[in-house]
Chain A
Amino acid sequence: MPDLRFEDVSITYRTAGGGVRGEIAAVRGVDLTLPAGGTLGIAGESGSGKSTLAMSVLRLLPGNAQLTGRVMVGDTDVTELSFGELRALRWADASIVFQGAMHSLNPVRTVGQQILEALELHVADGWKTEAARRERVTELLRAVDLPPLKADSYPHELSGGQKQRIMIAMALACEPEIIIADEPTTALDVIVQQQILEMISRLVTERGISLLMISHDLSVLASACRRIAIMRGGEVVEVGDALEVCTRGQHPYTRQLADAFPTIGDPASRRNPVTRRTRSDAASDPQQSPMTDEVLLEARGLSVTFHSRTKSARAVKDVDLVVRRGEILALVGQSGSGKTTLARTLVGLQQPDPGSVVRFRGRDLPRKGKGLRAFRKEVQMVLQDPTAALNPKLSVYESVAEGLRVQHYRGDERERVAQGLTDAELTPPEDFFTAIPQELSGGQRQRTVIAGALAVGPQLLVADEPVASLDASARGEILGLLLSLRDRLGLSALVITHDLGLAWNIADTVAVMYEGVIVEYGPTEQVLLRPQHEYTRQLLSAAPTIQRAIA
């Protein structure tokens, strides 16, 4: 059985357009070894070269990539193989589960055909005949817990988790010795994520395959790999035993990654996200919440149904919800459970079903004209994806000022914008005025959106997954900001997330949503520490933690 060795591998991309980026050194001088039958995890921030490294194993890098160093599979250097030899190596010796299974399957062929194709290309004793191959497809699908009938499905007919499993089945098809899994669980909700991880671990141990797994989430790696390497900026900054790296990381970045995971039930992280900022004095006692009893927003019997030509779907069913002044309410739930829909309805972007009641300060939501504009002044929403929420052509200044202009703000616009940016901790604000979104990091973009919302001076902020797209260090910053704003400005907030740890980090109250229904609703401690509903319990148990992984 071969092992996989990277020997002083460097990979640079040449980019033609723009010249802004020019040559990108995606991977720099990496030395790594995956022993035969072993498991190795690679973690690191987004863009640190993880996928690039993975692709180099099968020489799948795009044409503009240049590789130096050696990639050894057993005794052969992959970079020196002839094309024919390389094709023979691909999939038969090493296979890959690509990042984003969604796009890795050909949309116009059935998944069965696509698995078959691999078998046809690498005919082995086990599947010499057509019938044997079909048999093997069935067998593979069973191995990944899918009914064999699914072979006739087209990719779009499968859920994300199912597609991910098809990819895994395909990777196993030719009985390779090495499997590379690139972020096999991103975009999956925690419960599915747990299933997939368990399955991979099981297959690896059962079949004695070497596994190279990539993720930006330490806890995910910790649960599947014996060794972990940490990458940053194209370099491996730390390699070691999984437990070692997770709990006693040497490199500051490793520690930062490890620390960013809140531990539910740990008082140290309660209302205290990891952040570089020092919190204001007003809330020196993190256990104390400035929440009042004054009801700001109220929903009773709220339902939302989407109608399409052929069918209608109720995304939100009969929800009762209250947001008080100074309260931070976390709305958690699995993907597609209706969180965004509920939030959009609460701010009047979505029409609820007749009979639903949504009241702001005791009055029905205005629908148009002056009333609507006045309402917008009081209730602002931060949309799910900060990158999409900023017009790429407008500067930070213009984006923040947009609300003021729309609201016919009479004061000094410039001063107000500066104030908004300062509130959002983008200081000095002048430095950011002329920047356009693509020049900002994810966290900065998110804060610009928040600054834009805050500049209008709202009483209630509805923030939809404000940190989902951020890596561990950036998310702490944003959460810290929310808390400090609540402390300083008495703001109320409805924060949407599918991450329970986040709720533990900042929320006063938690509502758990499941298939459009709020199944559990109460103070954070009560819901998270003494869950009543089965789904909440499931969520809590599926949430990966480093402790659990190592234990």
Chain B
Amino acid sequence: MTNTVPPTEEILLAETGSDRAPRRTSALSYLLSKLGGAAVSMAMVILLGFFAFKVLPGDPVAGIARERQLSPEQIAQLRTQMGLDKPLWQQFVDYIVNVFTLNFGESYVYRKPVGELIGDYFWNTILLTGTSAVLAIALGLWLGQKAGWRPGSLFDRITSGMALVLWSVPTFWLALILLMVFGGTLQWFPTGGMTSPDPPTDPLALVLDVAAHMVLPVITMVAVVYAQYVMVMRASLMEEKSADYLVTARAKGLRDDLVRRRHAVPNALLPAVTLMFLHIGGLIAGAVTVETVFSWPGLGKLTFEAISGPDLPLLQGTFVVFSAVIIATNLVADLIYRRLDPRVRRG
């Protein structure tokens, strides 16, 4: 659920392998079919977004009234303001309208349009997960191809071993330990947030400030996620390693590392790309816990708060946006794949 099992990659590789069978289609129809698939998924997400959350228990007003001195009139007033007194179908219609206006209604807790809230937080999350994803992918690919080239070597054993151990660590636990050690005890890094309470005005100083705040969360996410990429790339390269064209390359007198870099890696990248993007979902799950622990003002933290709200419109909003991000990245993966593999491209 939170983590997609990395070692199944090898099995999945078999599949992407079959995907790679020569299959020429025009760029347009390829794009259209991928877009169509994404659109169907998105429509399903939007429907699920309403019905799944509608069944959530808990009336936000009841929660408020349990803690605060309110008269029945005040409670009724609150319910009206939150639109809770409307019939279900009306709420559904509102929701659909809201989704298409990228608005998602008004957050119960923040009393702001959800779209606006998400807009405020979206880029923070992208900054965090994006940085982590780039680092994790770069690290994973690099270590993975090195390890896969010489399976069983000391380097491979250390790399795979590390990756497997880190993969077995619950994200939030690692985050907490890092927070304790490097934030609280050693005080090397700030303990939370995205900037200092008074962010410096000098742009360079501001960048440094944000970077300092990013170190721990990024380390956490990279540590837990990069393992999957290592394993994908390693398996992929091992699969490629015995390919006949590598013998040809060697026979031509190429140096070993050139054989790897020029011939093996570009081919091994193909199945790896699809799989890596599939794991973006895992990264987002990580964002929820990591942002929560490190108080990173992003969508993950927003989601966490929406759960404890319960802030239904906000939850719907983050759910739809997260899903959309994953769907979009998968679409990108398909397109990248097409660029990388001449066999899928039109001849």
The answer to A–B direct touch (Cβ < 8 A) is yes
Query: In the bound complex, what is the Cα–Cα distance between A104 and B252 (angstroms)?
Result: 12
Residue pairs across A and B with Cβ atoms less than 8 A apart, 20 shown, are: A87-B254, A87-B255, A88-B253, A98-B248, A103-B243, A104-B244, A104-B247, A106-B263, A107-B245, A108-B267, A109-B263, A117-B252, A117-B254, A121-B252, A122-B253, A154-B343, A156-B347, A157-B347, A309-B25, A310-B25
Whether A92 sits at the interface, judged by CB under 8 Å, is yes
Task: Tell whether, in the assembled complex, residue A310 and residue B251 are in contact, meaning their CB atoms are under 8 Å apart.
Answer: no
Interface check A394, CB cutoff 8 A: no
Closest residue of chain A to B21 (Cβ to Cβ) is A156
Given contacts A91-B251, A106-B263, A108-B266, contact A310 B340 (CB under 8 A): no
Contact mask for chain A residues 418-457; partner B; CB cutoff 8 A; 1 contact, 0 none: 0000000000000000000000000000000000000000
Residue from the list A55, A95, A106, A122 in contact with B245, Cβ < 8 A:
A106
Query: Within the complex, which residue of A91, A103, A105, A310 is in contact with B253, where a contact is CB–CB below 8 Å?
Result: A91
Q: Please measure, in the bound complex, the distance between the C-alpha atom of A156 and the C-alpha atom of B250, giving whole angstroms.
A: 21
**Are the C-beta atoms of B252 and A103 separated by less than 8 Å?**
no
Tell me whether B249 and A106 are in contact (CB under 8 A). yes
Contacts of A69 in B (CB 8 A): none
What residues of chain B lie closer than 8 Å to A98, measured between beta carbons?
A: 244, 247-248, 251
Query: A157 to B346, alpha carbons, bound, how many Å?
Result: 10
Among B251, B252, B255, B340, the most chain A Cβ lie within 10 Å of the Cβ of: B252
- A229 close to chain B: CB less than 8 A: no
Give the shortest distance, in Å, between A305 (CB) and chain B (any CB): 19
Q: Which residue of B lies closest to A105 (CB)?
A: B245
How far apart sit A98 and B250, CA to CA, in the bound complex (Å)? 12
Residues of B within 8 A of A55 (CB): 247
Nearest chain B CB to A135's CB is how many angstroms away?
19
Q: Are B248 and A105 in contact (CB under 8 A)?
A: yes
Known: A106-B267, A107-B267, A108-B267. A90 touches B243 (CB 8 A): no
**Interfacial chain B residues near A154, Cβ < 8 Å:** 342-343, 347
CB of A30 within 8 Å of the partner chain: no
In the complex, how many angstroms separate the beta carbon of B261 from the nearest chain A beta carbon?
12
A96 interface residue per 8 A CB criterion = yes
| 0 or 1 for each of A95-118: is its CB under 8 Å from B? (1 = yes) | 110101001111111000010011
Q: Is B8 an interface residue (CB 8 A)?
A: no
Please report the C-alpha to C-alpha distance between residue A372 and residue B82 in the assembled complex, in whole angstroms. Answer: 64
A489 within 8 A of B: no
B260 to chain A, nearest CB (A): 13
CB distance from A340 to the nearest CB of B (A): 18
The 10 closest A-B pairs by CB, nearest first: A103-B244, A90-B253, A87-B253, A154-B342, A106-B245, A118-B252, A104-B244, A156-B22, A104-B248, A156-B343
Q: How far is A212 from B5 in the complex, measured between Cα atoms in Å?
A: 49
Determine which of A122, A156, A170, A310 lies in contact with B342 in the assembled complex, contact meaning CB atoms within 8 Å: A156
How close is B34's CB to chain A, nearest CB, in angstroms?
13
Q: Which of A90, A117, A157 has the most CB of B within 10 A?
A: A117
Q: How far is the CA of A107 from the CA of B341 in the complex (A)?
A: 8
Q: Mark each residue of chain A from 45 to 77: 1 if its CB lies under 8 Å from any CB of chain B, else 0.
A: 000000000010010101000000000000000
B242: chain A residues at CB < 8 Å are 62
Kindly state the interface size class of chain A when it binds its partner: 20 to 34
Known: A58-B251, A90-B252, A91-B252. Is A100-B244 also a contact (CB below 8 A)? yes
B90 at the A interface (CB under 8 A)? no
> Complex: how many Å from CA A107 to CA B248?
12
Contacts of A103 in B (CB 8 A): 243-245
CA distance A86 to B255 in the complex (A): 11
Chain A residues contacting B249 (CB-CB under 8 Å) are 106, 117
Say yes or no for B26: interface residue by CB 8 A criterion. yes
Determine whether B29 belongs to the interface, using a CB cutoff of 8 Å to chain A: yes
Q: Which residues between 143 and 174 of chain A lie within 8 Å of chain B, taking CB atoms?
A: 153-154, 156-157, 170
Docked complex Cα distance between A122 and B254 (Å)? 10
Residue of B nearest to A16 (CB): B152
Bound CA span A86–B251, Å: 10
Q: Specify which chain B residues have a CB less than 8 angstroms from the CB of A114 in the assembled complex.
A: 248
**B336 CB, min distance to chain A CBs, angstroms:** 13
Q: What residues of B have a CB within 8 angstroms of the CB of A105 in the complex?
A: 245, 248
> Quick one: closest B residue to A108, CB to CB?
B266
Q: How far is the CB of A510 from chain B (nearest CB, A)?
A: 33
Chain B, 247-291, contact with A by CB distance < 8 Å: what is the 0/1 string?
A: 111111111000000110011001000000000000000000000
Alpha-carbon separation in the docked complex, A157 to B343 (Å) = 8
**How long is the Cα–Cα vector from A62 to B250 in the complex, in angstroms?**
11
Chain A residues with Cβ below 8 Å from B342 are 107-108, 154, 156
Q: For the complex, give the distance between the alpha carbons of A92 and B270 in Å.
A: 32
Apart from A90-B252, A108-B340, what are 16 other A-B pairs with CB-CB below 8 Å? Answer: A55-B247, A87-B253, A87-B254, A91-B252, A100-B244, A105-B248, A106-B266, A107-B342, A107-B343, A108-B270, A109-B266, A114-B248, A121-B252, A121-B253, A156-B347, A310-B26
Q: Which residues of B in the span 11-47 have a Cβ within 8 Å of any Cβ on A?
A: 22, 24-26, 29
The answer to whether A104 and B245 have CB atoms under 8 Å apart is yes
* B-chain residues with CB within 8 Å of residue A100 when the two chains form the complex: 244
Judge whether B251 and A96 touch: CB under 8 Å.
yes
Residue numbers in B under 8 Å from A87 (CB-CB): 253-255
- Interchain CA distance A531-B245 in the complex, whole Å: 42
Chain B, range 72-117, C-beta contacts under 8 Å to A: none
Question: Which of B26, B242, B248, B262: most chain A Cβ within 10 A?
Answer: B248
Q: Mark B178-212, 1 if CB is under 8 A from A, else 0.
A: 00000000000000000000000000000000000
Given A96-B251, A98-B248, A121-B254: A310 and B29 within 8 A (CB)? Answer: yes
